[in-house]
Amino acid sequence: MSSSTTAPRRPRGAGPTEPDGAVDHGRGPRQSIMSRSAAMLVMGVFTLYFLTPIWWLLTTSTKTGSEITSTVPLWFTANSFGTFFDNLARLFTYGDGLFGRWLINSAIYAGVGALIGTIVAAMCGYALAKYEFKGREAIFNIVLSGVLVPATALALPLFLIFSQANLTNTMWAVFLPSLVSPFGVYLARIYAAASVPGELLEAARLDGSGEIRTFFTVSTRLMAPALVTIFLFQFVAIWNNFFLPLIMLRDQALFPVTLGLYAWNSQISQIPELRILVIVGALVSIVPLIIAFLALQRFWSSGLGAGGVK
């Protein structure tokens, strides 16, 4: 009696069999390479699309006013390095240093507003996620509806409210509306519900920790990636805010950098030298955004990695 087993019969019309452990090198790898190449091509095109305006700002900032139209665009000139620092010095000295004042105003509006707005959004989202109370879902639905309303639609009602309170043409007219972030509340609630275990909160309560102390010492650490995301979104939104300061402010000393550059740009026909100052100012105005993102990226990435491990 033979100990060998009978090999399974192949279906009629089937192709040649592959040896054990062999990999089918058919369409799969080829399609994978083509899909990756297509994805890289699309990402490269969009990267070029988004970086070209920044490159134009950088190269144009190294030119004089007359060289903007007379030299090769998107490239530097012979004395680019010296011209850039001359333009930078003129930018910060023009109008008794008005541009520096605008940068400080934007830093106050965006930095303090984003920080307080993040804390408020985190506390609201945490309460909606971890506490049971009547009307919780109704409040959350109202918050979601606030996400769908564009900020420009709220500018006129806000102006009427602040004019009744005699707060127009003050820093409060720009600062106070920036403290509210419906999207931040939504993101904080979703992340708190997923990342803060109820058992951990019960253990903190049994140890005698109050609700506020538990939130700031335990919950905020677990919600760190969401808090950094909310802060970055708020910071960028407030820094780029234009329409609200436009209708609220009349004193140039209170302008943020966006409104200040717009005011200069509207005077180019009367003062042509402002053209190069607007271009250099636009380049300088994006530097704080880049610094904020690079400074907080490691906290963002590490928090997301920790959440993925958990």
Model pLDDT, residue 46 = 93
* Residues of the chain where predicted confidence (pLDDT) is lower than 50: 1-7, 13-26, 302-310
Model pLDDT, residue 31 = 66
Model pLDDT, residue 30 = 66
Model pLDDT, residue 244 = 93
Q: How far apart are CA 127 and CA 114, in angstroms?
A: 20
- Only one residue has tokens 């253990």, namely 203
pLDDT tens for 199-231 read 999 999 998 889 999 999 999 999 988 999 999
CATH assignment of 97-309?
1.10.3720.10
Half-sphere exposure of 23 (CA within 13 A, CB side): 4
Q: Where are the domains of the chain?
A: 97-309
Model pLDDT, residue 4 = 44
pTM: 0.82
Model pLDDT, residue 72 = 74
